[in-house]
Amino acid sequence: MSIQTNRLSDPTVRAFVSAVNSHDQAAFQALLTPDATMADDGSDRNIADWADREIFSSNGHMDVESEADGGRALVVSYRNDTWGEMRTKWQFTVDDGKISRFETGQA
């Protein structure tokens, strides 16, 4: 059972999920601090390259299964055209309404 995006607790994370699912690259970028960082399976990645490859050019989509930590930790059924569907975990660091870091990986 997934959680509807509009019911996610943290407004910044909610906007992130919405941007991913609507493939809105401008909205996605606007949610990040200028020096935002990210990691995928424990390895730091370039956000722009990673987001283009894993989200925007491959039809990435997040179905949120559960949330914790006030909505800043998610378990997501994530799918894209490259990898198919997989269960992933996402952890967000939010500062003043912007994401300064997110980490994702297999759940």
Q: Residue 72 belongs to a domain with what CATH number?
A: 3.10.450.50
Instruction: Using pLDDT thresholds of 50, 70 and 90, give the confidence band for residue 1.
Output: confident
Q: Are 77 and 89 in contact (CB under 8 A)?
A: no
As a whole number of angstroms, the distance between CA 83 and CA 52 comes to 14
pLDDT at residue 75 in the model: 98
Structural domain boundaries enclosing 18: 5-106
The pLDDT of 11-24, averaged and rounded, is: 98
| 59 has pLDDT over 80 | yes
The pLDDT of 21-26, averaged and rounded, is: 97
Residues in the chain: 107
Hey, what amino acid is at 80?
N
Domain total of the chain: 1
**End-to-end Cα spacing for the chain:** 16
| 94 has pLDDT over 90 | yes
Q: What average pLDDT does the chain have?
A: 97
The pLDDT of 79-85, averaged and rounded, is: 96
